[in-house]
């Protein structure tokens, strides 16, 4: 988790009796790695008699209970602790986490506009979209740096090709396998898989990720007009109104 997430959780722990899921969930949902930890933890401890998935951080906290959550997640190691002495790897991870947070904000905005009842799950799907890459930065930073260096050397090199060259596998396949191994919610697994791009929820996440990537350094990227066009079709809005909505979501 991020250092700031750890600090916020510890502050809330100090007044546990006044804390409920609605107060704690926004802290969890702002941090992709902590959100992933919580969902995996709750899925692992889910009763075999429970037939429905716990699909959101709020629902996971309600199921786990506030006291058990604080006991299960006593002071956690942070990514800053793990990558101490590796500033380039930490920079790469923090850049990816910031992009995930922006993508999640876009995806939530799309879902709310479309009045999608699964808006919170769509938000989390965008937040966790690249969690395998996040874990690679944490646990094998040299490999993550190698992939990044190859793409910088050749801007036309697609990320999946660079991943196959360095890792021998695409991270999307690793990620889908991990989600099923950790028994993450089926709806979250489906929405997170861009290969089902005919699904409107999947497309919402994919377009949010794409826009967050293209606007990372500002709104003058040459690919942004195509993003706006595709998002306007998704939202059934004129392109001018779509661009205004996107700017508002990013403000």
158-203 pLDDT, tens per residue?
Answer: 999 999 999 999 999 999 999 999 999 888 988 988 777 789 999 9
Within this chain, do residues 54 and 111 fall inside the same structural domain, yes or no? no
- CA–CA separation, 236 vs 50, rounded Å? 38
Residue finishing a domain among 33, 50, 79: 79
Residue finishing a domain among 27, 53, 79: 79
* Segments forming the whole domain that contains residue 171: 86-249
Backbone Cα Rg of the chain:
18
Say if CB 29 and CB 124 are below 8 A apart: yes
Residue 107, number of CB atoms within 10 A of its CB: 31
Element (H, E) at 191: helix 186-191
- CA–CA separation, 52 vs 49, rounded Å? 9
Question: Residue 227 class from Cβ within 10 Å (0-12 exposed, 13-18 middle, 19+ buried)?
Answer: buried
Residues of the chain below pLDDT 70: 47-54
Within this chain, do residues 222 and 117 fall inside the same structural domain, yes or no? yes
Within this chain, do residues 227 and 106 fall inside the same structural domain, yes or no? yes
Domains contained in the chain, number: 2
Within this chain, do residues 99 and 206 fall inside the same structural domain, yes or no? yes
The reported pLDDT for the residue numbered 227 is 98
Closest CA to 89 of 153, 132, 127, 134: 134
CA dihedral 76, 82, 88, 89 (to 10 degrees): -80
Closest CA to 120 of 194, 59, 196: 59
**Where residue 180 sits, what CATH number does that domain have?**
1.10.3210.10
Within this chain, do residues 188 and 109 fall inside the same structural domain, yes or no? yes
The reported pLDDT for the residue numbered 95 is 96
Closest CA to 218 of 89, 102, 93: 102
The reported pLDDT for the residue numbered 198 is 80
Say if CB 223 and CB 86 are below 8 A apart: no
């Amino acid at each position: 988790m991020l250092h700031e997430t750890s600090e916020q959780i510890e502050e809330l722990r100090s007044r546990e009796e006044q804390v409920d899921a609605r107060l704690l969930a926004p802290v969890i949902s702002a941090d992709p790695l902590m959100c992933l930890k919580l969902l995996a933890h709750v899925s692992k401890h889910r009763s075999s008699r429970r037939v429905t998935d716990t699909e959101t951080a709020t629902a996971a906290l309600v199921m786990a209970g506030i006291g058990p959550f604080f006991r299960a997640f006593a002071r956690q190691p942070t990514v800053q602790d793990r990558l101490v002495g590796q500033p380039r790897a930490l920079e790469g991870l923090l850049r990816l986490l910031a992009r995930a947070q922006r993508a999640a904000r876009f995806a939530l905005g799309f879902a709310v506009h479309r009045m999608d009842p699964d808006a919170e799950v769509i938000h989390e799907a965008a937040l966790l979209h690249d969690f395998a890459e996040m874990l690679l930065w944490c646990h094998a930073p040299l490999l993550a740096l190698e992939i990044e260096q190859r793409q910088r050397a050749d801007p036309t090199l697609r990320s999946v090709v660079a991943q196959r060259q360095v890792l021998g596998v695409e991270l999307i396949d690793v990620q889908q396998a991990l989600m099923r191994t950790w028994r993450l919610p089926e709806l979250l697994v489906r929405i997170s898989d861009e290969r089902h791009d005919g699904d409107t929820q999947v497309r919402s996440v994919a377009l949010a990720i794409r826009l967050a990537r293209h606007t990372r350094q500002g709104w003058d990227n040459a690919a942004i007009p195509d993003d706006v066009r595709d998002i306007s079709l998704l939202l059934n809005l004129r392109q001018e109104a779509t661009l205004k909505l996107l700017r508002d979501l990013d403000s």
